[in-house]
Amino acid sequence: MLNTVTHGTDTSATPLLIAHGLFGSARNWGVVAKRLAEKRQVQAVDMRNHGESPWLDSHGYHDMASDLAGTIDGTMDVLGHS
């Protein structure tokens, strides 16, 4: 389970999931996420082996995609940075 930082409250707007890039963390998106959360709920995640998420031996694309899929609850827009 990825560490998730939630900004804002649940609204009728589609929530946004933000995934940081290499060596980043959910905290890198704090200012942007708070601003975007004025209109919809925003969740920023720490990807595996980053921030407060679990540190695991495996770090492949399939693993990271599976982690994100496990975080998505219903319909969400996804923003990624690398």
Confidence band, pLDDT 50/70/90 cuts, at residue 77: very high
CA nearest neighbour of 71 among 21, 32, 28, 15 = 15
* pLDDT score, position 42: 98
What's the predicted TM-score (pTM) here?
0.90
In whole angstroms, what is the distance from residue 43 CA to residue 26 CA?
A: 9
Cα first-last separation, the chain: 21
Q: Give Cα separations from 34 to 7, 21, 28, 63 (angstroms).
A: 6, 19, 11, 28
Q: Please give the sequence-ordered ranges of beta strands (E in DSSP) within 1-82, or none if there are none.
A: 3-7, 16-19, 42-46, 77-80
**Residues 57-69: pLDDT tens digits?**
998 999 999 999 9
